Amino acid sequence: MSLPGSLRTVAAVAVYWTAIALGGSVLLPDPTSPLVAVPTLGGGAVVAHAAHTDRLVELGYAVGTMWIAVLALSIGTGVVDVFALPRREIAPLADYPGIAAIGTVGLLGVLVVAYAAFSRRSDERDAAESE
């Protein structure tokens, strides 16, 4: 059973926006923090642009790239905390408000840069195929 194109687009938009909002806010200690607006609204703008310009595939790659950044940040923090700190205690990054804010904005930045790069690459590939 296949879904109509518009229903597929709505489902993709909902999944991508949720993935961006969750991944972008992973460093926030308080889910009611005003910084939740950064990944929610910023991610919404990127998703809206992707849906409007029919670039949902490129957005999918960008969301995957953002989640790789979340994973790398998590692993890197754990390695630094275990091997570099004398107490050998893992302190969550979310305990530091400045780091949480920079990380939240940085993860949105990763998403935007990856989306732009994948979109440019797709445009170049399309231009090369049309020649």
Res 42: pLDDT: 94
Cβ-count burial 73-106 (b if 16+ within 10 Å, e if not):
beeebeeebeeeeeeeeeeebbeeeeebbebbbe
Number of domains in the chain: 1
State both tokens at 32. Answer: 């009611």
Res 83: pLDDT: 73
The answer to whether residues 119 and 55 touch, using CB atoms and an 8 Å cutoff, is: yes
Stated pTM of the model: 0.85
Instruction: Going from the first residue of the chain to its last (131 residues), give the mean pLDDT of each consecutive group of 10, the final group possibly shorter.
Output: 77 94 85 87 95 94 96 81 65 68 91 97 90 74
Q: Domain range spanning residue 75?
A: 5-130
